[in-house]
Amino acid sequence: MSAADDPRPRALPRAHGEAVLSATLRNRAEDFIVEELPGFEPSGEGEHLLLTLEKRGMNTAFVARRLAEWAGIDERGIGYAGLKDRHAVTRQRFSVHLPRRQAPPLGALEHGSENEALRVLDHAWHARKLPRGGLAGNRFVLVLRDVVGAPAAIEARLATLAGRGVPNYFGEQRFGRGGDNLHAALSMFAGRRVGREQRTMLLSSARSALFNRVLAARVAAGCWDRPLDGEAWMLDGSRSVFGPEPFTEVLAGRLAAFDIHPSGPLWGRGALRSTGEAARMELEAMAPAPGDALRDGLERAGLKQERRALRLRPEELSWRWLEPDCLELAFSLPAGTYATTVLAELGDVVDVATRR
Protein backbone atom coordinates (compact mmCIF):
# COMPACT_ATOMS: atom_id res chain seq x y z
CA MET A 1 0.00 0.00 0.00
CA SER A 2 1.37 3.39 -0.94
CA ALA A 3 1.38 6.71 0.88
CA ALA A 4 -1.15 7.95 -1.65
CA ASP A 5 -3.61 5.30 -0.42
CA ASP A 6 -2.77 5.19 3.29
CA PRO A 7 -0.64 7.82 5.08
CA ARG A 8 -0.17 5.79 8.27
CA PRO A 9 3.40 4.63 9.10
CA ARG A 10 2.45 0.94 8.94
CA ALA A 11 1.79 1.38 5.18
CA LEU A 12 4.90 3.45 4.41
CA PRO A 13 8.43 2.34 3.44
CA ARG A 14 10.99 1.61 6.14
CA ALA A 15 14.33 3.37 5.97
CA HIS A 16 16.47 0.55 7.35
CA GLY A 17 15.29 -2.55 5.53
CA GLU A 18 12.84 -5.36 6.03
CA ALA A 19 11.17 -6.09 9.34
CA VAL A 20 13.32 -7.79 11.98
CA LEU A 21 10.48 -8.68 14.34
CA SER A 22 6.78 -9.05 14.93
CA ALA A 23 5.36 -8.30 18.36
CA THR A 24 2.39 -7.04 20.35
CA LEU A 25 2.18 -3.82 22.35
CA ARG A 26 -0.09 -2.64 25.17
CA ASN A 27 -1.30 -6.03 26.29
CA ARG A 28 -1.69 -4.15 29.57
CA ALA A 29 -1.49 -0.46 30.44
CA GLU A 30 1.90 -0.87 32.14
CA ASP A 31 3.40 -1.94 28.81
CA PHE A 32 3.17 1.67 27.60
CA ILE A 33 4.60 4.21 30.06
CA VAL A 34 5.06 7.79 28.91
CA GLU A 35 6.28 10.72 30.98
CA GLU A 36 6.19 14.33 29.82
CA LEU A 37 9.50 16.17 29.91
CA PRO A 38 8.61 19.66 31.15
CA GLY A 39 9.39 22.66 28.98
CA PHE A 40 9.74 25.10 31.91
CA GLU A 41 9.96 25.36 35.68
CA PRO A 42 6.97 26.67 37.67
CA SER A 43 7.24 30.34 38.67
CA GLY A 44 6.03 29.59 42.21
CA GLU A 45 3.44 32.34 42.05
CA GLY A 46 0.31 33.18 40.09
CA GLU A 47 -3.21 31.79 39.98
CA HIS A 48 -2.70 28.61 37.96
CA LEU A 49 -2.08 25.44 39.96
CA LEU A 50 0.29 23.15 38.05
CA LEU A 51 -0.43 19.52 38.84
CA THR A 52 1.76 16.61 37.77
CA LEU A 53 -0.53 13.58 37.63
CA GLU A 54 0.00 9.91 36.99
CA LYS A 55 -3.01 8.32 35.33
CA ARG A 56 -3.95 4.85 34.18
CA GLY A 57 -7.00 3.90 32.14
CA MET A 58 -7.99 7.54 31.55
CA ASN A 59 -7.35 9.81 28.58
CA THR A 60 -6.36 13.45 28.89
CA ALA A 61 -9.80 14.89 28.12
CA PHE A 62 -11.40 12.73 30.80
CA VAL A 63 -8.92 13.93 33.42
CA ALA A 64 -9.44 17.56 32.34
CA ARG A 65 -13.17 17.22 32.95
CA ARG A 66 -12.50 15.61 36.31
CA LEU A 67 -10.18 18.46 37.29
CA ALA A 68 -12.80 21.05 36.32
CA GLU A 69 -15.40 19.32 38.49
CA TRP A 70 -12.92 19.04 41.38
CA ALA A 71 -12.05 22.75 41.19
CA GLY A 72 -15.61 23.90 40.47
CA ILE A 73 -14.58 25.82 37.35
CA ASP A 74 -15.35 25.77 33.63
CA GLU A 75 -13.33 23.21 31.68
CA ARG A 76 -11.78 26.09 29.71
CA GLY A 77 -9.78 26.87 32.85
CA ILE A 78 -7.88 23.58 32.55
CA GLY A 79 -4.65 23.50 30.55
CA TYR A 80 -2.49 20.61 29.32
CA ALA A 81 0.46 20.39 26.97
CA GLY A 82 -0.43 17.27 25.02
CA LEU A 83 -2.96 14.47 24.62
CA LYS A 84 -2.18 11.13 26.21
CA ASP A 85 -3.91 7.83 25.52
CA ARG A 86 -6.17 5.94 27.90
CA HIS A 87 -4.46 2.58 27.37
CA ALA A 88 -1.22 3.53 29.14
CA VAL A 89 0.39 4.72 32.32
CA THR A 90 1.14 8.39 31.73
CA ARG A 91 2.64 11.18 33.78
CA GLN A 92 1.71 14.64 32.58
CA ARG A 93 1.09 18.20 33.73
CA PHE A 94 -2.23 20.00 33.96
CA SER A 95 -2.93 23.58 35.00
CA VAL A 96 -6.04 24.61 36.94
CA HIS A 97 -7.11 28.28 37.00
CA LEU A 98 -7.85 29.22 40.62
CA PRO A 99 -8.00 33.05 40.86
CA ARG A 100 -8.23 33.03 44.66
CA ARG A 101 -5.50 30.38 44.95
CA GLN A 102 -7.85 28.20 46.95
CA ALA A 103 -7.59 24.58 45.87
CA PRO A 104 -9.80 21.77 47.19
CA PRO A 105 -7.93 18.94 48.96
CA LEU A 106 -5.59 17.20 46.50
CA GLY A 107 -6.47 13.86 48.04
CA ALA A 108 -9.99 14.20 46.64
CA LEU A 109 -8.52 13.84 43.14
CA GLU A 110 -6.84 10.52 43.77
CA HIS A 111 -8.56 7.37 42.67
CA GLY A 112 -7.61 3.74 42.23
CA SER A 113 -9.37 0.66 40.89
CA GLU A 114 -8.60 -2.36 38.76
CA ASN A 115 -9.13 -0.41 35.53
CA GLU A 116 -8.46 3.23 36.45
CA ALA A 117 -6.07 5.14 38.66
CA LEU A 118 -5.17 8.79 39.23
CA ARG A 119 -2.41 10.00 41.53
CA VAL A 120 -0.96 13.45 42.30
CA LEU A 121 2.83 13.43 41.98
CA ASP A 122 3.60 17.14 42.39
CA HIS A 123 1.98 20.57 42.53
CA ALA A 124 3.16 24.18 42.25
CA TRP A 125 1.76 27.61 41.40
CA HIS A 126 2.44 29.25 38.07
CA ALA A 127 1.58 32.58 36.42
CA ARG A 128 0.08 31.23 33.18
CA LYS A 129 -2.17 28.51 31.86
CA LEU A 130 -0.27 25.51 30.52
CA PRO A 131 -0.34 25.88 26.70
CA ARG A 132 -0.65 23.12 24.14
CA GLY A 133 2.85 22.06 23.17
CA GLY A 134 4.28 23.41 26.42
CA LEU A 135 6.63 20.48 26.95
CA ALA A 136 10.16 19.57 25.88
CA GLY A 137 9.24 16.04 24.85
CA ASN A 138 8.26 12.65 26.22
CA ARG A 139 10.13 9.73 27.79
CA PHE A 140 8.80 6.29 26.84
CA VAL A 141 9.21 2.86 28.40
CA LEU A 142 7.54 0.28 26.15
CA VAL A 143 7.24 -3.48 26.54
CA LEU A 144 6.92 -5.57 23.38
CA ARG A 145 5.49 -9.05 24.00
CA ASP A 146 5.18 -12.16 21.82
CA VAL A 147 8.36 -11.09 20.04
CA VAL A 148 9.29 -13.22 17.03
CA GLY A 149 12.65 -12.50 15.44
CA ALA A 150 16.38 -13.11 15.79
CA PRO A 151 17.66 -11.23 18.86
CA ALA A 152 20.96 -10.37 17.14
CA ALA A 153 19.14 -8.81 14.17
CA ILE A 154 16.75 -6.92 16.45
CA GLU A 155 19.58 -5.47 18.53
CA ALA A 156 21.53 -4.55 15.40
CA ARG A 157 18.49 -2.67 14.09
CA LEU A 158 18.07 -0.86 17.42
CA ALA A 159 21.73 0.20 17.31
CA THR A 160 21.13 1.58 13.80
CA LEU A 161 18.11 3.55 14.98
CA ALA A 162 20.12 5.01 17.84
CA GLY A 163 22.92 6.08 15.52
CA ARG A 164 21.10 7.12 12.37
CA GLY A 165 17.56 7.94 13.47
CA VAL A 166 14.23 7.18 11.80
CA PRO A 167 11.92 8.92 9.32
CA ASN A 168 9.87 11.52 11.20
CA TYR A 169 6.47 10.30 9.99
CA PHE A 170 3.31 11.58 11.62
CA GLY A 171 1.90 8.70 13.67
CA GLU A 172 -1.34 6.82 13.17
CA GLN A 173 -3.02 8.90 15.90
CA ARG A 174 -3.18 11.80 13.43
CA PHE A 175 -5.39 9.86 11.03
CA GLY A 176 -8.08 8.37 13.25
CA ARG A 177 -9.41 4.84 13.38
CA GLY A 178 -8.71 3.17 10.05
CA GLY A 179 -7.44 6.46 8.63
CA ASP A 180 -10.99 7.87 8.60
CA ASN A 181 -9.88 11.44 9.41
CA LEU A 182 -8.57 11.92 5.89
CA HIS A 183 -11.96 11.05 4.35
CA ALA A 184 -13.64 13.38 6.84
CA ALA A 185 -11.22 16.18 5.90
CA LEU A 186 -12.07 15.78 2.22
CA SER A 187 -15.76 15.89 3.08
CA MET A 188 -15.18 19.07 5.10
CA PHE A 189 -13.31 20.66 2.20
CA ALA A 190 -16.26 19.76 -0.03
CA GLY A 191 -18.60 21.75 2.19
CA ARG A 192 -19.63 19.61 5.16
CA ARG A 193 -19.85 21.72 8.31
CA VAL A 194 -17.94 20.59 11.40
CA GLY A 195 -17.25 21.98 14.86
CA ARG A 196 -14.18 24.09 15.54
CA GLU A 197 -12.30 21.41 17.45
CA GLN A 198 -12.99 18.78 14.81
CA ARG A 199 -12.00 21.24 12.07
CA THR A 200 -8.61 21.76 13.70
CA MET A 201 -8.09 18.00 13.95
CA LEU A 202 -9.05 17.40 10.32
CA LEU A 203 -6.81 20.18 9.03
CA SER A 204 -3.91 18.59 10.93
CA SER A 205 -4.75 15.19 9.44
CA ALA A 206 -4.76 16.57 5.89
CA ARG A 207 -1.44 18.36 6.40
CA SER A 208 0.10 15.30 8.02
CA ALA A 209 -0.98 13.04 5.16
CA LEU A 210 0.74 15.26 2.58
CA PHE A 211 3.89 15.44 4.68
CA ASN A 212 3.98 11.64 5.05
CA ARG A 213 3.67 11.30 1.27
CA VAL A 214 6.74 13.48 0.75
CA LEU A 215 8.75 11.69 3.42
CA ALA A 216 7.74 8.26 2.07
CA ALA A 217 8.99 9.29 -1.40
CA ARG A 218 12.33 10.37 0.03
CA VAL A 219 12.65 7.19 2.09
CA ALA A 220 11.97 5.12 -1.03
CA ALA A 221 14.62 7.14 -2.88
CA GLY A 222 17.14 6.80 -0.03
CA CYS A 223 17.43 10.56 0.56
CA TRP A 224 15.40 11.13 3.73
CA ASP A 225 18.51 11.91 5.78
CA ARG A 226 20.74 13.49 3.13
CA PRO A 227 20.37 16.69 1.13
CA LEU A 228 18.89 17.32 -2.27
CA ASP A 229 19.56 20.33 -4.44
CA GLY A 230 17.36 23.15 -3.14
CA GLU A 231 17.05 21.70 0.37
CA ALA A 232 15.42 23.75 3.13
CA TRP A 233 17.09 22.95 6.44
CA MET A 234 15.51 22.79 9.88
CA LEU A 235 17.43 23.40 13.09
CA ASP A 236 17.20 20.53 15.56
CA GLY A 237 14.80 21.16 18.42
CA SER A 238 13.23 24.26 16.87
CA ARG A 239 10.99 25.47 14.07
CA SER A 240 13.73 27.60 12.56
CA VAL A 241 14.32 27.00 8.85
CA PHE A 242 17.10 28.27 6.60
CA GLY A 243 18.27 27.76 3.03
CA PRO A 244 18.32 26.69 0.33
CA GLU A 245 22.05 27.27 0.07
CA PRO A 246 25.04 25.36 -1.32
CA PHE A 247 25.87 22.19 0.61
CA THR A 248 29.26 22.78 2.23
CA GLU A 249 31.54 20.82 4.55
CA VAL A 250 30.19 22.92 7.42
CA LEU A 251 26.61 21.88 6.64
CA ALA A 252 27.76 18.27 6.21
CA GLY A 253 29.25 18.36 9.69
CA ARG A 254 26.10 19.83 11.18
CA LEU A 255 23.98 17.20 9.41
CA ALA A 256 26.16 14.38 10.74
CA ALA A 257 25.93 15.84 14.26
CA PHE A 258 22.10 16.00 14.09
CA ASP A 259 22.23 19.76 14.50
CA ILE A 260 20.20 20.22 11.30
CA HIS A 261 17.82 18.06 9.28
CA PRO A 262 16.34 18.02 5.78
CA SER A 263 12.73 19.22 5.93
CA GLY A 264 9.42 18.65 4.21
CA PRO A 265 6.35 20.85 3.69
CA LEU A 266 3.42 21.36 6.03
CA TRP A 267 1.13 22.62 3.29
CA GLY A 268 -0.57 25.99 3.24
CA ARG A 269 -0.66 29.30 1.39
CA GLY A 270 2.52 30.75 -0.06
CA ALA A 271 5.54 29.49 -1.97
CA LEU A 272 7.50 26.38 -1.08
CA ARG A 273 10.67 27.15 0.85
CA SER A 274 12.51 24.41 -1.05
CA THR A 275 13.63 24.75 -4.65
CA GLY A 276 15.23 22.60 -7.37
CA GLU A 277 15.23 18.82 -6.95
CA ALA A 278 13.81 19.00 -3.41
CA ALA A 279 10.78 21.02 -4.53
CA ARG A 280 10.25 18.80 -7.58
CA MET A 281 10.15 15.66 -5.43
CA GLU A 282 7.80 17.28 -2.94
CA LEU A 283 5.32 18.37 -5.57
CA GLU A 284 5.40 15.02 -7.37
CA ALA A 285 4.81 13.12 -4.12
CA MET A 286 1.78 15.24 -3.25
CA ALA A 287 0.27 15.16 -6.75
CA PRO A 288 -1.68 11.85 -6.82
CA ALA A 289 -5.37 12.12 -5.90
CA PRO A 290 -6.61 13.37 -3.54
CA GLY A 291 -3.47 15.51 -3.21
CA ASP A 292 -4.82 18.52 -5.11
CA ALA A 293 -8.04 18.52 -3.06
CA LEU A 294 -6.08 18.37 0.20
CA ARG A 295 -3.75 21.20 -0.79
CA ASP A 296 -6.58 23.38 -2.07
CA GLY A 297 -8.59 22.80 1.10
CA LEU A 298 -5.65 23.71 3.34
CA GLU A 299 -5.01 26.89 1.37
CA ARG A 300 -8.68 27.92 1.51
CA ALA A 301 -8.63 27.28 5.27
CA GLY A 302 -5.95 29.96 5.55
CA LEU A 303 -3.01 27.83 6.71
CA LYS A 304 0.43 29.07 5.74
CA GLN A 305 3.43 27.12 4.47
CA GLU A 306 5.55 25.64 7.26
CA ARG A 307 8.21 22.94 7.46
CA ARG A 308 8.91 19.82 9.54
CA ALA A 309 12.13 17.85 9.94
CA LEU A 310 12.28 14.66 7.89
CA ARG A 311 14.55 12.94 10.41
CA LEU A 312 14.07 11.98 14.05
CA ARG A 313 16.57 10.44 16.45
CA PRO A 314 15.36 8.68 19.62
CA GLU A 315 17.52 9.95 22.48
CA GLU A 316 18.98 7.68 25.16
CA LEU A 317 17.65 4.59 23.40
CA SER A 318 18.20 1.47 25.49
CA TRP A 319 16.74 -2.03 25.55
CA ARG A 320 16.72 -5.20 27.61
CA TRP A 321 15.16 -8.63 27.28
CA LEU A 322 12.72 -9.32 30.13
CA GLU A 323 11.99 -12.80 28.71
CA PRO A 324 13.11 -14.54 25.51
CA ASP A 325 9.99 -13.15 23.79
CA CYS A 326 9.60 -9.93 25.81
CA LEU A 327 11.63 -6.80 24.97
CA GLU A 328 11.62 -3.53 26.91
CA LEU A 329 12.57 -0.33 25.07
CA ALA A 330 13.26 3.08 26.62
CA PHE A 331 13.86 6.35 24.76
CA SER A 332 12.96 10.04 24.64
CA LEU A 333 11.44 11.98 21.76
CA PRO A 334 10.84 15.69 21.21
CA ALA A 335 7.33 17.11 21.35
CA GLY A 336 5.20 16.50 18.27
CA THR A 337 6.84 13.19 17.33
CA TYR A 338 5.62 9.61 17.72
CA ALA A 339 6.90 6.45 19.39
CA THR A 340 5.06 4.42 16.75
CA THR A 341 7.44 5.73 14.08
CA VAL A 342 10.33 4.19 15.99
CA LEU A 343 8.52 0.86 16.36
CA ALA A 344 7.61 0.83 12.66
CA GLU A 345 11.31 0.59 11.77
CA LEU A 346 11.54 -2.67 13.74
CA GLY A 347 8.66 -4.46 12.09
CA ASP A 348 5.01 -5.36 12.55
CA VAL A 349 4.00 -4.29 16.06
CA VAL A 350 0.30 -4.88 16.75
CA ASP A 351 -1.28 -2.47 19.23
CA VAL A 352 -3.54 -4.80 21.18
CA ALA A 353 -5.41 -1.97 22.94
CA THR A 354 -6.36 -0.38 19.63
CA ARG A 355 -7.49 -3.70 18.19
CA ARG A 356 -9.77 -4.16 21.19
Active site residues: 85
Give the burial string for 21-42 (b: 16+ CB within 10 Å, else e).
bebbbbbebebbbbbbebeeeb
Give the burial string for 174-196 (b: 16+ CB within 10 Å, else e).
bbbeebebbebbbebbeeeeeee
- Of 238, 240, 181, 177, give the one whose Cα is nearest residue 208: 181
- Of 150, 127, 34, give the one whose Cα is nearest residue 84: 34
Angle in degrees, CA 206, 63, 48, rounded to 5: 95
Residue 59, Cβ density class (10 Å: 0-12 exposed, 13-18 middle, ≥19 buried): middle
CB atoms under 10 Å from CB of 3, counted, come to 26
